[in-house]
Amino acid sequence: MTFKRRLFLFSFGIGMGCLLAWGIYGNRLGNTDWMPNHRIKLRLKSTLIKATPEAEAMLSPMHLDLADLRLAMDSCDIDFSDSKRSEDSLVYFVYGTVRGQQVHYMAATLRDFRTDSTATLVSIKLGGR
């Protein structure tokens, strides 16, 4: 095999490898938050706009509202061990510090976000896990 042939095959392999790597990882360069924890936080941060009447009653003595929960979402953690999945809904337990208070709350969403994309605050309590 001549040097030109080896150089051609080497260049072809490098080119195919670069195309494959760009195809697999190229779209992730702008958004590095593709892990489940970050995706759920992003979804709750943008869709947590409703609360059940019981949750509203729990929020008022804490002097918090849904906007405070959305703003603090980046510093909160998702408790995957308590989270529940059913055929049509997803229930997430989130804990973290919101305006200096340690809170633990439950938010529910529909699995099919095309049906209803909003998340609903179901309950909230003071304290960590």
Query: For 48-80, how does the pLDDT look when each residue is reduced to its tens digit (9 = 90+)?
Result: 999 999 999 999 899 898 999 999 998 899 988
How do the domains of the chain map onto residue ranges?
A: 1-30, 32-126
Query: For 105-114, how does the pLDDT look when each residue is reduced to its tens digit (9 = 90+)?
Result: 999 998 887 7
Strands 119-126 and 101-110: antiparallel
CATH for 32-126 (3.30.2310, 1.25.40, 3.40.50, 3.40.1350): 3.30.2310
Residue ranges of alpha helices (H) inside 1-129 are 3-25, 36-47, 53-62, 66-71
pLDDT of residue 34: 73
* pLDDT band, residue 28 (cuts 50/70/90): low
pLDDT of residue 127: 79
What is the Cα–Cα distance from 126 to 2, expressed in whole angstroms? 74
The reported pTM is 0.68
pLDDT of residue 72: 92
